[in-house]
A = this chain, B = another copy of it.
Amino acid sequence: MPDVSEPLLRPIGRVSSALVDPATAPKQGDEGAPDAWLEFVPEVADGLRDLAAGDRVLLLTWLDRADRATLVVHPRDDLTRPPTGVFATRSADRPNPIGLHLVDIVAVEGLRVLVRNLEALDATPILDVKPVLGPER
């Protein structure tokens, strides 16, 4: 195994959401999560220019309140479910807690993008936005 370097992420924005309490936040966007604003830093404005209302995108976030030492969890915090290796779960607790959220864009206002049903907590750093792959890639 070669040496593994430690790449530095540069957050490109923050989530602005009514969700502030991890204990009560929905675990997935389709479980009653609210709409939320994505607030981007001015330095990435050019990268945003082709995002539009109606687009379905993958939002990547940094789950900064996760426990990076966790390798085994009860899925969905359900103690009746057997302990499971984190790479077979969507637990936020994992060595690199990158959140992956499938969301629909509702509105774009300059550096602010409104999306539907986002379970990420308020102030979560944003790492990336990618289109969902289709025939056009």
Residue ranges of A at the interface with B (Cβ–Cβ < 8 Å): 1-2, 4-14, 27-28, 39, 41, 44, 46-51, 55, 57-58, 60, 62, 64, 68, 71-72, 75-76, 84-90, 94-96, 98, 100, 123, 125, 127-131, 133, 137
- Some 24 contacts from A to B, beta carbons below 8 A apart, are A1-B14, A4-B10, A4-B14, A4-B41, A5-B64, A6-B9, A7-B8, A7-B9, A7-B11, A7-B125, A8-B9, A10-B68, A12-B96, A44-B87, A47-B85, A47-B87, A47-B94, A48-B87, A50-B88, A51-B88, A55-B88, A76-B137, A96-B127, A96-B128
Q: Are A94 and B8 in contact (CB under 8 A)?
A: no
Residues of B within 8 A of A51 (CB): 85, 87-88
